[in-house]
């Protein structure tokens, strides 16, 4: 049995121990793999591990020894799961490993927008506080979260965690979901109001996106829907970059219609230099790192090993095809 890791660097840039994986079988581990290298590096592998390296139907068909694909992430759109199933190749993912870390990033972005920590830290370093006549100063309005309304779009694990954190900040929390009956008891227990998407977008001070990317949610926040948001609303996106129309959001920031935008994801990653959000005012972008805390990556690695052991035992876990 041969294991090949096609792009292990993001999960393990050097602070985790690959020896734990090597104990499961012979391993070839690559930091990154270009598209033209996939077939050569995957040849003879029974187990392939990928994070963002694409495994197409053609690639899967060209690997006769392949029996298992482990996606080192929750999203598994990089694998043609239908083609894998037709070949009886098991595909698994890693659900839930980054829930706490992504929810934490939502509030890191939100607090940066409302409290302007980074901005004022820069001013202090530039000497503005030293030269100030008063014991404190601020050159931008600061906002308190208590009493503000938070709208969570999507009630998966991350959306639910964000909602409960919002309640801890004494925010009035609403959520919308495609399956309200499934989440009604949870909402009642945690003081969350389930409302329809339109009312959420129209009435919330802060909107945080946690829905999956589908044909129905692509460009969910477009120019038309931005017009329905409360003036001065704050938008947070840690879901998928394609959930928003980036040009429309940039225009709303430039006009002042949106007070702020925070995102850990963009439609193209890394972004093009001309992405309009990179130069828009009050736009706070982090480079897809919400999932990447040490603790989350340790869970990611542990679940990877659990998934492989379960496959080898004939009882696959977290199968997605």
Classify residue 156 as left (phi > 0), alpha (psi -120 to 50) or beta. beta
Does residue 269 have an active-site annotation?
A: yes
Interatomic CA distance for residues 213 and 153, integer angstroms = 12
The residue-averaged pLDDT of 290-308 equals: 97
Query: Model pTM?
Result: 0.91
User: In whole numbers, what is the pLDDT of the chain averaged over residues?
Assistant: 96
E strands in the chain: 3-5, 27-29, 47-50, 68-71, 90-92, 149-153, 172-176, 193-194, 206-209, 233-237, 258-263, 283-285
> What CATH number matches the domain at 99-285, 3.40.50.300, 3.40.50.720, 1.10.10.10, 2.40.110.10?
3.40.50.720
Catalytic residue (choose from 41, 190, 199, 288): 288
Catalytic residue (choose from 58, 126, 269, 295): 269
Catalytic residue (choose from 240, 246, 297, 299): 240
The CATH number of the structural domain formed by 3-97+294-312 is 3.40.50.720
Does residue 140 have an active-site annotation?
A: no
Q: What is the pLDDT of residues 167-182, one digit of tens each?
A: 999 999 999 999 999 9
Domain locations along the chain: 3-97+294-312, 99-285
The residue-averaged pLDDT of 249-260 equals: 97
Q: What is the pLDDT of residues 12-52, one digit of tens each?
A: 999 999 999 999 999 999 999 999 999 999 999 999 999 99
Interatomic CA distance for residues 42 and 310, integer angstroms = 21
Q: What is the pLDDT of residue 75?
A: 87
Does residue 120 have an active-site annotation?
A: no
Q: What is the 3-state secondary structure (H, E, C) of 178-219?
A: CCHHHHHHHHHHCCCEECCHHHHHHHCCEEEECCCCCCCCCC
């Amino acid at each position: 049995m041969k294991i090949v890791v096609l792009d292990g660097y993001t999960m393990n840039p050097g602070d985790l121990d690959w020896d734990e994986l090597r104990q499961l079988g012979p391993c070839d581990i690559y930091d990154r793999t270009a598209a033209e290298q996939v077939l050569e590096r995957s040849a003879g592998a029974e187990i392939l591990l990928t994070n963002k390296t694409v495994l197409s139907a053609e690639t899967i068909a060209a690997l006769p020894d392949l029996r298992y694909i482990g996606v080192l992430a929750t999203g598994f759109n990089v694998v043609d799961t239908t083609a894998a199933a037709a070949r009886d190749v098991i595909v698994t993912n890693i659900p839930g490993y980054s829930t706490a870390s992504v929810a934490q990033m939502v509030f890191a972005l939100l607090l940066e927008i409302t409290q302007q920590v980074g901005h004022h830290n820069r001013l202090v370093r530039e000497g503005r506080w030293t030269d100030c006549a008063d014991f404190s100063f601020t050159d931008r309005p600061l906002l308190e979260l208590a009493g503000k309304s938070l709208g969570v779009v999507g009630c998966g694990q991350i959306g639910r965690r964000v909602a409960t954190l919002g309640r801890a900040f004494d925010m009035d929390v609403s959520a919308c979901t495609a399956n309200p009956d499934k989440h009604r008891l949870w909402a009642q227990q945690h003081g969350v109001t389930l409302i329809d998407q339109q009312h959420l977008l129209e009435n919330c001070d802060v909107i945080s996106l946690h829905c999956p990317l589908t044909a129905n949610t692509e460009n969910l926040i477009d120019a038309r829907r931005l017009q329905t948001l409360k003036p001065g609303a704050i938008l947070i996106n840690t879901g998928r970059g394609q959930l928003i129309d980036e040009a429309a959001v940039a225009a709303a920031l430039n006009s002042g219609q949106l007070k702020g935008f925070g995102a850990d994801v963009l439609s193209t990653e890394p972004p093009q230099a001309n992405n309009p959000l990179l130069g828009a005012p009050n736009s706070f972008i982090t480079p897809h790192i919400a999932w990447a805390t040490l603790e989350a990556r340790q869970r990611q690695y542990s679940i990877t090993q659990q998934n492989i052991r379960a496959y080898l035992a004939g009882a696959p876990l977290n199968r997605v095809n």
